[in-house]
Amino acid sequence: MGDYPPTDSARLIADRYELRGRLGQGGMGAVWRAWDRKLRRVVAVKEILLPDQMGERERAERHARVLREARAAARISHPGVVTIHDLVDSGDHPWVVMDHVPGESLRERMASRGTIPVGLALDLADTLLAALGVAHEAGVIHRDIKPGNIMLGHDDQAVLTDFGIATISEATVVTETGGLLGSLEYMAPERLADEDDTPASDLWSLGVTLYAALEGRSPFHRKNSSSVLHALVNAPVPAPRNAGPLAPVISGLLRRDVNGRMGVEEARSLVERARAGRGASVAGAPTPTGDAVPAEPDTARREIMELRAEAERNIRQMRDATERDCQRVLANAERQAREQAGRIVADAEAEADRITGEARREVEALTRRYDDVRSRLQQLRGVLGGGGTPA
C-alpha cells in the first residue's frame, strides 16, 4: 500500500485520519482513501451523509441505527467481507473506517471489460455465499448487494463492502434518481411490500448481481423506476444464457417466493460441484469460446414466449395510457368549453342587465317629463277656465 507523508493541508477526521482522495461518491455519501496517522497505514473511510429532508428526530434515530449496525458488522470476520476498524463522529455525521481494498469494483470491471467469465463468476459466488452465510449467522443483513458494493482485489478476490451502512438507503430509494435507480434493480421484491428484511433478500440481490455480471445487465433493467418496480413484481425472470453451470444457482436465488428461494448451503453446494466439474479455476482469464453456453431450444422458445408476452403487456399498457391521455384531453376540452360558455353567458347577462337598466332609467325620465307636462296642462286649463293667471 505504501506510506503517505504527513501533511498539514489534508482534511483530518477525529484527529487521526487524513483524507487523501475521494475513491467514490454515492447517494449515501463518499468513500475516501485516508492515512491513519496512529497506525501509519492506508485505510478507506466512508462518510455517511443522511438525507437533508430528514427531521431532527428521524436523523438522530437513523444515525444511531447506522452506528449500531456498523458495530455489528465489525464483528464479522471473513475474507469476503471488508474489515471495519473504527467508527467516529465528525461534522455531525458518522464515518466508518475500514480496510482499503486496492482494485476496482465489479461495476467498474463490467463497465471497462463487459461481462465476466463463468469461472470468475463461480469464484465470486463461492466467496460471497460463504461471506453471507457468516454474516447472516451473526444476525447481520447487508440490504444493498450490487456490483458497486463488491470489490475485486488481488487475484480478483471478491470483498463485499458497505455492510451495516445500507440501512439508510431505505428512506431514499424511491425518491432519489440516477444512481439509486441501480440499487432498485437489485432489490428483492418482498422489500417493496414493506416486509421485514431477511437473509433471503440478500440472496435475491446476489442472484441479480451474478446475472448482471454474466449477461451484461440486471434482468430487471428498465428505462424508469416505475417500469423497474413493475418488472420486479410481475415480469417473468428470464433464464440466464451465459451462466453455464451457474444457471441453476441464479434461477434458485431469483425465486419470488421467499420460502422457496434457494438458501446459502444449497447454493454453495451447487457452486462447489460446478467448480469441481470445471477443474482448476481460471478466474480472471479471458473467457474461452466454450464458456458461453447457448440456450437450449426449449429455453429459447420459453424466452421468446416471455419476450412476446412482455411486448403484449407493454402494448396494452401503451394503449391504456393513450386512452387515458385521450380521456384527459377530452375532459379538459369539455371543461374549457363549459368555462368559456359560462363566461359568454355571464357577459351576455351582464350586458342585458346594463341595457335593461339604461332603458328603465330612460322610461323613468320620460315618465317624469310626461307627468310634468300633464301637470302644467292641468294648471293651464284651470287658469283659462277661471280667468286667472297661471303662477
Quick one: which of 268, 218, 274, 219 has its CA closest to 246?
Answer: 274
Active site (annotated) includes residue 15:
no
Residue 249: left (phi > 0), alpha (psi -120 to 50), or beta?
alpha
List, in order, residues 6 or more apart from 1 with CB less than 8 Å away.
41, 42, 100, 102
Q: Report how far residue 146's alpha carbon sits from residue 161's, in angstroms, rounded to the nearest whole number.
A: 10
Q: Dihedral (C-alpha) 65, 67, 69, 75: value to the nearest 10 degrees?
A: -160
Quick one: which of 129, 105, 106 has its CA closest to 213?
Answer: 106
Quick one: which of 133, 177, 179, 170 has its CA closest to 271?
Answer: 133
- Contact (Cβ atoms closer than 8 angstroms) between residue 48 and residue 165: yes
223 is in an annotated binding site: no
Look at the alpha carbons of 5, 95, 140, 149 in this order and tell me if their dihedral is positive or negative. Answer: negative
The H-or-E segment that residue 37 falls in is none
Annotated catalytic residue, options 36, 144, 162, 291: 144
- What does residue 23 show for φ and ψ, rounded to 5 degrees? -90, -30
Binding site per annotation, positions for ATP: 46
Binding site per annotation, positions: 46
Task: Give the catalytic positions in this structure.
Answer: 144
